[in-house]
Amino acid sequence: MRSVRLPGGETVAALGMGTWHIGDRGATRSEEIATLREGLDLGLTLIDTAEMYGEGAAEELVGEAIAGRRDEAFIVSKVYPHNASRRGVVAACERSLERLGTDRIDLYLLHWRGSVPFAETIAGFEALQAAGKIRHFGVSNLDIGDMREWWTHAPGRAVATNQILYNLGRRGPEWDLLPWLAERSIPVMAYSPIEQARLVRHAGLAAFARTQGMTPAQAALAWLLAQDGVIAIPKTGNRARLKENAGAAALDLDAAQMAELDRLFPPPEGAIPLEML
């Protein structure tokens, strides 16, 4: 499995697994757990979840999937902005730990910016780190202006990632946010990397993938993985699609393939505000 280096030196799998909407339906629960466990087998050891997903149901399902295998997984979870006060973030994290059935979250993110000042959230993250309840902290959905503000808080500079909407069809961050993060060696975690399956149905991408002997989802993921410092977290609750997605990690897109993808999905020609799903 390819890996990405976090600030501080630890490496994580560049291809992980998302969990939004996992655990929503009882009928698919056992397949979803089996999928996450197979993902660990295949080296997709980074699992992304959040207290928001199913109001805790996704974290509970992740907890079941990693039972007995905690040390194999790198768990990412997120705090709601309305819980992100100095004390609120600690309480929210403790609830997440309980649902996940673990004593630590590897990377804990502010889900998006709310009304709580960054300094408070950062103080809460520091307290959690000191207590060993989180190993790293980071942010999500912060555009460049918010990132610059976060960076003015010295302890916030330990930020381990910015998890953002980034895929072939959403290349806006390439204009300014990605270079800003790269200058500071902060990895990007690309969410909705196949645009919630809409990229799979993109006629141009489908035709490209067919001629290149890959699937559209694999092409979309391989394009992200070709970039330094980018982690992709596709979600699937299905083992066949998991294997398909995992196959993207073995693909090395060459310059001609990257150029064709640039033609199909042109890079930005100016600043575009960060989008959110």
Which amino acids are annotated catalytic? 53
Q: Is 277 in the site for ligand NAP (CB under 6 A)?
A: yes
For ligand NAP, the binding residue among 14, 20, 36, 173 (CB under 6 A) is: 20
Least separation in angstroms between CB 276 and ligand NAP: 6
Residue 196 interacts with ligand NAP (CB under 6 A): yes or no: yes
Binding segment (CB under 6 A) for ligand NAP, from list 89-97, 125-133, 229-237, 266-274 = 229-237
Span of 60-68, 143-151, 168-176, 230-238 interacting with ligand NAP by CB under 6 A = 230-238
Is 96 a binding residue for ligand NAP by CB under 6 A? The answer is no
Question: What does the chain look like in DSSP terms, one character per residue?
Answer: --EEEPTTS-EEESB-B--TTTTS-GGGHHHHHHHHHHHHHTT--EEE--TTGGGGHHHHHHHHHHTT-GGG-EEEEEE-GGG-SHHHHHHHHHHHHHHHTSS-EEEEEE-S--SS-HHHHHHHHHHHHHTTSEEEEEEES--HHHHHHHHTSGGGGG---EEEE-BTTB-GGGTTHHHHHHHTT--EEEESTTGGGTGGG-HHHHHHHHHHTS-HHHHHHHHHHTSTTEEE----S-HHHHHHHHGGGG----HHHHHHHHHHSPPPSS--PPP--
Joined together, the tokens standing for residue 104 give 């630590």
Q: Which of 13, 19, 161, 172 binds ligand NAP (CB under 6 A)?
A: 19
- Least separation in angstroms between residue 130's CB and ligand NAP is 25
Sites for ligand NAP among residues 123-182 (CB under 6 A): 140-141, 163
**Of 196 and 212, which has the nearer Cβ to ligand NAP?**
196
List 241, 246, 253, 261, residue binding ligand NAP (CB under 6 A): 241
Q: How far is the CB of 199 from ligand NAP (least distance, A)?
A: 7
Residues touching ligand NAP: how many (CB under 6 A)?
Answer: 27
Residue ranges binding ligand NAP (CB under 6 A) = 18-20, 48, 111, 140-141, 163, 191-197, 200, 217, 233-238, 241, 244-245, 277
